[in-house]
Structure 1
Amino acid sequence: MGSFIGHVLPGIAFYVFGLWHLFNNTKLHFQNKASFTTSAWFPTSRLRYLELILIIIGSSISVSMELFIGPRKHQPFDADGTIPSNHLRNFEHSSISMYFATYGILAILLDKSVQGSTLGDNNIANRMNSHLHDHVQGLTLLAASMCFGLELFSFHFHSTDHMGVEGQYHLLLQIVVVVSFATTLISVGLPGSFLVSYVRSVSIMCQGGWFIVMGYMLWTPELVPKGCMIHREDGHEIVRCSGEESLERAKSLVNIFFSWFLIGFTIGAILFYVGMVNCYSPKYYNNEITTGASAAYCCLPTKQEGCDEFEGEPLEHHIELQKKTRFVVGVACEGGNGVSNSKPMDDPKMEAIYAE
Structure 2
Amino acid sequence: MGTFVGHLVPGLALTFLGLWHTINNIRDYCLNGSTKFTIRFWYPFNGPLSRFKHLELIFILSFSLLAIFMQILDYPSLRFAFELDSFEHASMFLHLAIFAGFTLSAELTQSSEILSAVPGILVASVFGQELFLLHFHSADHVGLEGHYHWLLQLIVSVSLLAALAAMLLPTSFSTVLVLSISVVFQGCWFMNMGFMLWTPEFVPRGCIMQLAESSSDSMHGAVTCESHGADMRARALANLQFSWILSGILISTGLTCLKFSKKCSLGAQSTEYEQLHVKGSHVPVTIDSFKRADP
CA distance in 2, matches of 1:184, 1:287: 36
Amino acid in the other structure paired with 2:241? F
Look up the match of 1:138.
117
Distance in structure 2 (CA, Å) of the matches to 1:137 and 1:287: 35
What secondary structure is seen at the aligned counterpart in 2 of 1:137?
coil
TM (normalized to structure 1)? 0.70
Q: Which residue pairs with 1:3 in the alignment?
A: 3
Deviant stretches of 4+, over 4 Å: none
* Paired residues of 2:18 and 2:184 also in contact (CA < 8 A): yes
Check conservation: 1:110, 1:140, Cα contact below 8 A. Answer: no
Q: Give the structure 2 partner of residue 174 of structure 1.
A: 153
Describe the shift of the 1:247–1:259 C-alpha distance in structure 2 as closer, same or farther (beyond 3 A): same
Match of residue 257 from structure 1: 241
Query: In the alignment, is residue 191 of structure 1 matched against residue 196 of structure 2?
Result: no
Task: Choose 1 or 2 for highest CA Rg.
Answer: 1
Q: How much does 1:203 deviate? A: 0.9
- Partners of 2:36 and 2:135 in 1: CA distance: 38
Query: What is aligned with 1:147?
Result: 126
Separation in structure 2 between the aligned mates of residue 109 and residue 201 of structure 1, nearest angstrom: 23
Matched, 1:273 2:252: no
Q: Distance in 1 between matches of 2:2 and 2:270?
A: 51
Distance 1:221 1:237 in 2: 14
Equivalent residue in structure 2 for 1:104, among 89, 95, 100: 100
Separation of aligned partners in 2, 1:4 and 1:240: 17
Q: Distance in 2 between matches of 1:40 and 1:276?
A: 20
Of 5-14 and 21-30, the range deviating more from structure 2: 21-30
Q: Distance in 2 between matches of 1:65 and 1:156?
A: 22
Task: Choose the corresponding residue for 1:246, options 230, 233, 238.
Answer: 230
Cα separation, 2, equivalents of 1:11 and 1:221:
19
The answer as to 2:59 corresponding to 1:54 is: yes
Q: Which residue in the other structure is 2:194 paired with?
A: 215
* Cα offset, 1:251, TM superposition: 1.3
Q: Give the paired residue count.
A: 269
The TM-score normalised by the length of structure 2 is: 0.83
Q: 1:224 aligns with which of 179, 186, 203?
A: 203
Q: CA deviation at 1:172?
A: 0.7
Structure 1 residue runs of 5 or longer lacking an equivalent are: 78-86, 117-131, 298-315, 321-356
Larger RCO (CA under 8 A, 6+ residues apart): 2
| CA RMSD in angstroms, aligned pairs only | 2.3
TM-superposed deviation, 1:19: 0.8
Distance of 1:224 and 1:289 partners within structure 2 = 58
C-alpha contact (below 8 Å) 2:144/2:221 kept by paired residues: no
Alpha-carbon distance, 1:26 to partner:
1.2
Post-superposition offset of 1:220: 1.5
